[in-house]
Structure 1
Amino acid sequence: MSRKRSNHSRRYPPSTERSYHEYLLSVPAPTTSRAELVRMLRGGEDSYLELKVKFSNIEKLTAEIIALANTDGGALVFGVTDQLRIEGVDDPEKIEAELREICSTLIQPPVFPYIKKVAFDNGRRIVMLEVEPHRRPHHTQDFKFFLREGSSKRETSREELAEIYGESPRVRFEQTPMLRASMADIDESLLWSFVRGANPQEWANNDRGFPTAQIMHDLGLAVRIGDDILPTLGGMLLFGLHEKIPHLIPQASVLLTRFSGKNSDSPIIERQQIHGNLLWLFESSMRFVSRYVDLWDVRPSRKALSEEDQQFSRANYHQGAVTEAMTNFLLHRDWSVTEKVARVNIYEDSIEFLNPVRLLELPINSIRYGIEQAPNPSLKTVFTNRHYGLTIPQGGVPMICAEASAFARRPPDGLAINGLEFRLKLYGWK
Structure 2
Amino acid sequence: MDPVDAAALKFAENALQRCATPMLQRKFVALGGVDMILNFLSMSVNDEVVSKAAQVLQSIAGSSNQACLRIAKLGGVPMLLRQLRQTRNREVLLSVTLALRSVLELYSEVRNDDVWADVEIFTGQWLEDAPEVMVQVLVKSGGEQLTREASALIYFGCTCRPAMMAPVGKAGGVHELLKVCSDAVSKQRSSQEASNIDWVTAEWAVNALCVLLMTEANHEAFAAGSGPATLVSLLKISCVTEILEQGARALSNFMCTHRSQQQVASVGGAEVLVSHIQMYVGQKPLKQGMDEDDLSCGVMEQMCAAICNLTFENDSTRVRVGDAGGCQCLVLLLKREMEDQGEAVVRQACAAIGNICKKNRTNRSLVGAWGGCEALLDVIRCGAPTEQTRMQAVRAIGNVAMRMPDNQLKFTAADGPRLLLILVETLSLRLAPVG
TM norm structure 2: 0.29
Structure showing greater Rg: 1
Considering fraction of residues, name the structure with more helix: 2
TM norm structure 1: 0.30
